[in-house]
Structure 1
Amino acid sequence: MHFTRRSTLTLAVAAALALTACGKKDEAAAPAADASAATAAAGATVVQIGFAAPLTGPQAHYGEEYKNGVTLAIEDANAEKPVIGGQPVTFELVAEDDQADPKTATQVAQKFVDSKVSGMVGHFNSGTSIPASKIYADAGIPMVAMATAPAFTQQGYKTTFRSMTSDTQQGSVMGKFVVEKLGAKNIVIIDDRTAYGQGLADEFEKAVQAAGGKVVKREFTNDKATDFAAILTSIKGQNPDVVFFGGADAQSAPMAKQMKRLSIKAPLVSGEMTKTPNFVKLAGKEAEGTIASLAGLPLADMPKGKDYETRYKARFQSDVATYSPYGYDAARAMIAAMKKADSTEPAKYLPELAKNAYTDGVTTSNWAYDDKGDLKDGGITVYQVKNGDWVVLETVGGGVKAGNASAAQ
């Protein structure tokens, strides 16, 4: 077993002071545990699961919703009064803010390794997950990340797994969609130069060309920019049928507003970091017509999506946005692997995680990995903003037949 034993009193004090390291001398420097750990039953073994995502800054809304899903999964698992290795266990979420910054992410990863967490859910961004993955791999700690960049699972680490489909799948679907369903011939691509944004744009470009479309111009910005006047002015003369952006909603929202201001009639097309309520809020009426893809099925079509939506709203007093169901399933898949292996030792439950140990998910009933750690069957859904809300245009894969995309024409 890979755990730390604590009494209820010790847990309460630890949660209050946020001193939650497992066997680490510098307690104050340890990752901060969720206060819910104080509810652990007396005599239970505490098993720590790490979590990292941007919890401050312009991407904090992604990280908080993602964390909520993991929190709900751990609470559900604890309510089942799990017994592993013949002893009752209580799972404890230990969360850290990596600020969507690669350097900070590696520091966070080392902190988790030093604290001897039993497993890792996260990181969120591809740009943080890729450098952090080596640290977890060297320590033998399994990580199930939200990262979608193809490079994440191409490193050859046996400890890296995804909770969403990769950009190879998402980019290929969107590239084909804009050419075949939207009839786009001349396409402009802009990306934010992050591992996620550039990777998604690369895969999209390949698919556009394979479908017979033409990329007439490719530009790039950064993940802090909000003024795109120079780039948009330069592409306006190309008279594009579609403008594709690889990046987050903090950039795609002002981009959408500025496109309308410059009378660029082409729709903005993007990936899942744009498919958020936050994008619609930030872009306002200029969000109308924007198209974005999201890995996986619409919430209503997920095997347990409706039940999850009800319980999530009751627990967090907010709507499900984008990522929390995948965080939920990632944590539950890891816990299921521990139960099947009857051990929380990473080396012992890792083989079970690599297999299909979890068949009762919210997002899918077939949580199965290939030999690289990519999900075998996730599906991709294409959405469009209509009347201030995201509506489904088409779903490809994931057990749902493709929908009618005629509304996007």
Structure 2
Amino acid sequence: MKSWRVAPWILWGVILFLGAVPVLAGEQAKGVVKLYTSWPMQGAMIPEGTAMKRAVDLAVEHAGSMVAGYRIEVVNLDDASPVTGSWDGTVEAENAQKAIADADAMVYIATYNSGAAKVSMPITNKAGMAQVTVANTYPGLTKPRNAPGEPGIYRPTGQVNYFRAHPSDDIQGAAAAKLAECLGFKRVFILDDRQLYGKGIADVFAKTAKELGLQVVGHEGVESVDIDFRALLTKVRAVNPNLVYGGFVIDSGGPQVIQQMKALGLFDAGVKFMGPDGLFSPALVEQATPAAVNNNVYVTFAGLPSDQLPTEVGKRFYADYKAKYKEEPIGWAMYAYQATIVTVDAMKRAGAKDRARILDALRQTKNFEGITGRFSFDENGDTDRTDMGGFQVKDSKFQFVGLISKDKCP
């Protein structure tokens, strides 16, 4: 067998050439454009926050990490307080300021919590930067609602720069009340966390429930820092509801309420719990315990389960996410993906590294193929889709009950 010896200078030439390839490829790009993200990445939000981050990364990967000749870079920020592990207004404001101060930053993909959006929306609005949420559902962010001056108080320039590619709580809360009626519940006690999202959706549920003929036997707000709800739940049990509706997210008391309902025997007495999409996470099962949630908890969430998404876009997201990360996409990951692909599409149509042109392209989004179907943004920045699903926790998983609306049972 003949052996080959390669001259050292040839080896060095090969090494230098291979080392230069990424540089040459990078030089083909005009430069970099950045997408900033911001949501909690600590405490109870670690699973959800991580899933959303992965979904954004996957969307960028699907775009080839390039748009309009520029390399896409994602800058992930955490808007949670290291003290509480929950979103913090001061931190969120700092994150938004970082984004607008970066000349390469084109779009702010944020936030998860509706209350956090109240903080950052005026900042990005003044800067003329588009903001696309991954999960905000409070209606007042885009249309007149509870607070005086909404939504104008979040738009100091008077221009729409904020978009959401999923239905808001005026749709979800009403659909949840219809689901309660369809399931045969008659007497409902409502709880909320007194935050923008939780109270907002609880109020919509209460209004629609009354319109549908359900009896609202009580409505109480609680502080998210509370961990002992036994006195309140004893009061709830005394008025004999057969459903407790809770306007909560994972880190604002929802799991604790459910766990203590189990401990006080409410579930054994036939009472059930229903909550909104802020509880649509495996963390609910983990924190409230399977013994408490199984067969006792209903949750609403925008659209279909991720493994039943009907479009090619949705199917690709599900298959590639599962293959890449070796797990199911949870909660809001699918809408983090959708927020990113519609953003990249607008950047492509804008064809330039220009915040104003990208913002205008987002406003003009029409008939875009998303994960559940085609959608457009209306004059308020909202999607025109109204998909809403009902789920029940069984065998420690969210089992799909069916599509619902204010006028439709599953």
For Structure 1 versus Structure 2, the TM-score category normalised by the shorter chain is 0.7 to 0.9
Counterpart of 2:314 in structure 1 is 305
Q: Distance in 1 between matches of 2:263 and 2:72?
A: 51
TM-score, normalised to structure 2's length? Answer: 0.83
| Alpha carbons 1:192, 1:247 under 8 Å: kept | yes
Cα displacement (A) at 1:62: 2.2
Secondary structure of the equivalent of 1:369? coil
Question: What's the secondary structure of 1:268's corresponding residue?
Answer: strand
The alpha-carbon deviation at position 365 of structure 1 amounts to 3.0
Letter in 2 for 1:295: A
Query: What letter is aligned with 1:107?
Result: E
Match of 1:319 in 2: 328
CA contact (8 A) 1:337 1:358 kept: no
Map of 2:26 onto structure 1: 41
1:148 and 2:150 correspond: no
The alignment yields a C-alpha RMSD, in angstroms, of 2.2
Query: CA deviation digits over 1:353-378, x for unaligned, max 9?
Result: 122257232x2331311111111114
Task: Confirm or deny: 8 A CA contact 1:356 1:366 kept in the other structure.
Answer: no
Separation in 2 of the partners of 1:306 and 1:205? 36
Q: Name 2:96's counterpart in structure 1.
A: 109
The unaligned stretches of length 5 or more in structure 1 are 1-36, 405-409
- The residue that corresponds to 2:172 in the other structure is 170
Structure 1 vs Structure 2: percent identity of aligned residues? 28
Report the structure number with the largest CA radius of gyration: 2
Paired residue secondary structure (1:78): coil
Secondary structure of the structure 2 residue equivalent to 1:230: helix
Aligned positions, number = 359
Partners of 2:49 and 2:394 lie apart in 1 by 26
Structure 2 letter corresponding to 1:123: T
- Where 1:374 maps in the other structure, the secondary structure is coil
**Counterpart Cα distance in 1 of 2:58 and 2:213:** 45
Cα deviation per residue 1:154-212 (whole Å; 9 max; x = unaligned)? 32441011132101100010012212x12222110001111111111111111101111
Give the number of the structure with larger relative contact order, counting CA–CA contacts within 8 Å between residues 6 or more apart: 2
Residues 326, 165 of structure 1: CA spacing in aligned structure 2 closer, same or farther, 3 A cutoff? same
1:402 Cα deviation after fit: 6.2
For 2:398, the equivalent position in structure 1 comes to 390
Secondary structure of the corresponding residue to residue 307 of structure 1: helix
Q: 1:38, CA displacement in angstroms?
A: 10
Aligned residue for 2:259?
257
Match of 1:338 in 2: 347
How far does residue 346 in structure 1 lie from its aligned partner after superposition?
A: 1.6
The aligned counterpart of 1:230 is 231
Q: Aligned partners of 1:101, 1:214: CA distance in 2, in Å?
A: 36
Match of 2:382 in 1: 374
Asked if 1:93 corresponds to 2:99, the answer is no
Counterpart residue number, 2:117? 129
* Residue 348 (structure 1) aligned to one of 345, 348, 357: 357
Query: Contact 1:336–1:357 at 8 Å: present in 2 too?
Result: no
Q: What secondary structure sits across from 1:58 in the alignment?
A: helix
* Residues 317 and 67 of structure 1: CA distance in aligned 2, closer, same or farther (over 3 Å): same
Using the TM superposition, name which of 160-169 and 346-355 deviates more.
346-355
Change (3 A) 1:224 1:351: same
Shift of residue 39, structure 1, vs aligned partner: 11
For 1:195 and 1:38, how far apart are their aligned partners in 2?
Answer: 48
Tell me, yes or no, if the aligned pair for 1:393 and 1:403 is still in contact at 8 Å: no
Aligned equivalents of 2:27 and 2:332: distance in 1? 33
Instruction: Quote the Cα distance in structure 2 between the aligned partners of 1:39 and 1:364.
Output: 39
- Equivalent residues of 1:123, 1:129 under 8 A apart: yes
Shift of residue 311 of structure 1?
Answer: 1.0
Gap regions ≥5 residues in structure 2: 1-21, 81-86, 144-150
- Checking the alignment, whether the CA contact within 8 Å between 1:53 and 1:125 is kept in structure 2 is yes
Structure 1 pair 200/65, CA: closer, same or farther in 2 (3 Å)? same
Q: 1:52 to 1:364 in 2, by over 3 A?
A: same
Aligned-pair CA distance for 1:215: 1.1
TM-score of the superposition, structure 1-length normalised? 0.83
- Tell me by how many angstroms 1:147 deviates: 0.8
Cα distance in 1 for partners of 2:38, 2:344 equals 17
Q: Deviations over 1:10-63 (max 9, x none)?
A: xxxxxxxxxxxxxxxxxxxxxxxxxxx999723421100110000113223222
Q: Which residue of 1 aligns with 2:146?
A: none
Letter paired with 2:142 = T
SS of the residue corresponding to residue 372 of structure 2 reads: coil
Aligned to 1:76: 62
Contact 2:107 2:355 in 1 (8 A): yes
Kindly report structure 1 stretches of 4+ aligned residues shifted beyond 6 Å: 37-40
Which range moved further: 334-343 or 53-62? 53-62
What SS does structure 1 have at the residue aligned with 2:353? coil
CA contact (8 A) 1:382 1:394 kept: yes
Cα deviations across residues 269-323 of structure 1 (Å, max 9, x unaligned)?
0011212111112222111120000012222332243432221122223221111
For the residues of structure 2 that align with 1:281 and 1:249, how far apart are their CA atoms?
A: 11
Q: Following TM superposition, by how much is the alpha carbon of 1:74 offset from its aligned partner in structure 2, in angstroms? A: 1.1
Q: Report if aligned partners of 1:394, 1:402 keep a CA contact under 8 Å in 2.
A: no
The 3 A distance-change label for structure 1 pair 106 and 76 is same
